[in-house]
Structure 1
Amino acid sequence: MLHILAATLGLLAHRASAHGGAGNYTVGDTWYPGYDPYGPADQATAPWTVQRSWISNIPIFESNNISLACNFPGAPAQTSIPITAGENITAVYYSWVHTVGPMIAWMADCGGDCKTFDAAGAEWFKIGEKGLLDGTIEEGMWFQRAFVNWDGGGSLWPETVPSSLRPGKYLIRHEIISLHSANKPQWYPECAHLEVKGNGTGFPGKEYMASIPGVYSMDQPEINIDIYAPGVANQTTYKIPGPPVWKG
């Protein structure tokens, strides 16, 4: 039944993402609908809701904004996406237009039911990150540029839940940081609930963990950046801020 609902209700999220937001998620052949900030008001309490609510596709501009965790208001979802450690989860975006900046996938252990978990107090770890693939910071091929789908179809962002991760209830957070405006970074985060299954016993150590907000600062040159400035525009490397990716 959830599979049928997901395939149908996934259309709701199509128009929600014109400026920035994960519209749907897929695991294998199953689609799960994201929250549509411009859709029906009863989504937040709908039994199929797997994504935490967010009310606007306007970006977040402050590195210390409390909404940086799961966007505003970040109210918990009603259910979780079932996934086995080692499987891919794909976030589907529609009409994404920005092309410069990193994309980072994070997870956090809810320590129980994610419906009662405060994302602002979470300890997050990266499961994947994608940045500058080739060329220069200003004009090169970022994954964010390659990710854009100009024909109106979904832009797909797959990441793998580490195969050794211990089972449990988790948040997954997809974050795009757009750097096209000089010294004015734009954050686009969304969170969904996962129920991870499997036989793993692994979990990242402290060196992989970060607080959100807290991990970013306008003192960081990778965040407070003018990609058009001499000495920056032609650089061919970009260090994605935050801790290293935990691969299990």
Structure 2
Amino acid sequence: MFKSSIAVAALALISQVAAHGYVPFVKIGSQVLPGWDVNTDGYTTPQPSRIVRATKPDSGFIADVNSGDITCSIGNSKLPPTEITATVAAGQTVTALWNTWPVGHYGPVLNYMARCPDSGCSKWKGDSGSPWFKIQQSVYENGQWASDTLAKKSDFSYAIRIPSNLKAGKYLLRHENLALHGATNIGGAQFYPVCIQLNVTGGGSFQPTGNLNFPGAYKATDPGIHFNPYQGEAANRAYVPPGGPVYAGLQ
């Protein structure tokens, strides 16, 4: 009986982890790189260095916009043991390969970047000051939320184009699914941020100063966070996501 109880509990834990989305792989060009696999990487000693910031052995959501986890993931305080980045040319595409995403978790997909300090990305949390700037977003298009497009038409993948005029250097790319299916109530929105450590090459001379901070950029009462996605087509088309517009001057 005792062993059976343990087995049932273990299966429940596995089901809970498997039920939420995370990014175990990232594709740049034709190369597929390891992201962070919550089923294995969090249990490995020593902790593996990955280009995707570690999350605790749970791919669940963040509900509190003021939590330090909103920057990059659940357990954002744990930095990689060594510096590791993926090289991408400015103008190239970074594709986040999600393990899954549930249809009906309606919401936008939002993408931000922040330039890492000279000490490197792996030694920097990105949770102080206002280093972040929005580079891309997908909302409600052709009668479908971006999250459902990711799940139904894109094989759980999302392509993020790195601005072609961005100054070369090391950056964090913050890729986020925002689920609004429970957002009719304040505090009901679900945030799934993922941070990818990049070394951007080529590019131009444009270096955004940053105008957003995480935590701090979002408020629970923002109209793009406290939102009812069941109001119908017109309301969904009029939806304005949090974080403001894409940063001016990016190409």
For residue 124 of structure 1, the aligned residue among 117, 132, 138 is 132
For residue 220 of structure 1, the aligned residue among 222, 234, 251 is 222
Kindly indicate whether the alpha-carbon contact (under 8 Å) linking 1:98 and 1:180 is maintained by their aligned counterparts in 2. Answer: no
Q: Secondary structure of the residue that 2:167 maps to in structure 1?
A: coil
Measure how far apart 1:129 and its partner are.
0.3
The match for 2:91 is 86
Measure how far apart 1:224 and its partner are.
1.1
Change (3 A) 1:17 1:205: farther
Measure how far apart 1:228 and its partner are.
3.3
Q: Secondary structure of the residue that 2:98 maps to in structure 1?
A: strand
Q: Secondary structure of the residue that 1:227 maps to in structure 2?
A: coil
The match for 1:103 is 109
**Amino acid of the residue matched to residue 76 of structure 1?**
L
Change (3 A) 1:18 1:33: farther
Change (3 A) 1:200 1:16: farther
Q: Secondary structure of the residue that 1:241 maps to in structure 2?
A: coil
Measure how far apart 1:17 and its partner are.
6.0
The match for 2:167 is 166
**Amino acid of the residue matched to residue 114 of structure 1?**
C
The match for 1:4 is none
Separation of aligned partners in 2, 1:210 and 1:162: 18
Q: Does residue 1:193 correspond to 2:193, yes or no?
A: no
Q: Does residue 1:176 correspond to 2:177, yes or no?
A: yes
Q: Secondary structure of the residue that 2:122 maps to in structure 1?
A: helix
Kindly indicate whether the alpha-carbon contact (under 8 Å) linking 2:22 and 2:100 is maintained by their aligned counterparts in 1. Answer: no
Q: Secondary structure of the residue that 1:147 maps to in structure 2?
A: helix
Give the alignment's TM-score, normalised by structure 1.
Answer: 0.81
Q: How many residues align?
A: 222
Change (3 A) 1:214 1:35: same
Measure how far apart 1:204 and its partner are.
2.1
Measure how far apart 1:144 and its partner are.
1.2
Kindly indicate whether the alpha-carbon contact (under 8 Å) linking 1:27 and 1:90 is maintained by their aligned counterparts in 2. Answer: yes
Measure how far apart 1:177 and its partner are.
0.5
Separation of aligned partners in 2, 1:199 and 1:176: 27
Structure 1 residue runs of 5 or longer lacking an equivalent are 1-14, 135-139
CA offset digits 1:113-172 (Å, max 9, x no partner): 1111122125111111000113xxxxx41121111048xx94110011111111111111
Kindly indicate whether the alpha-carbon contact (under 8 Å) linking 1:81 and 1:193 is maintained by their aligned counterparts in 2. Answer: yes
Separation of aligned partners in 2, 1:71 and 1:60: 8
Give the alignment's TM-score, normalised by structure 2.
Answer: 0.81
Q: Does residue 1:115 correspond to 2:115, yes or no?
A: no
**Amino acid of the residue matched to residue 108 of structure 1?**
A
Separation of aligned partners in 2, 1:102 and 1:132: 7
CA RMSD of aligned residues (A): 2.3
Over the matched positions of the two proteins, sequence identity in percent amounts to 27
The match for 2:67 is 65
Change (3 A) 1:199 1:133: closer
Change (3 A) 1:205 1:59: same
Matches within 5 A, 1:41-80: 41-42=43-44, 45-47=47-49, 49-55=50-56, 56-74=58-76, 75-77=78-80, 78=82, 79-80=84-85
Separation of aligned partners in 2, 1:59 and 1:23: 16
Measure how far apart 1:109 and its partner are.
0.6
The match for 1:28 is 29
Kindly indicate whether the alpha-carbon contact (under 8 Å) linking 2:103 and 2:152 is maintained by their aligned counterparts in 1. Answer: no
Matches within 5 A, 1:197-208: 197-205=201-209
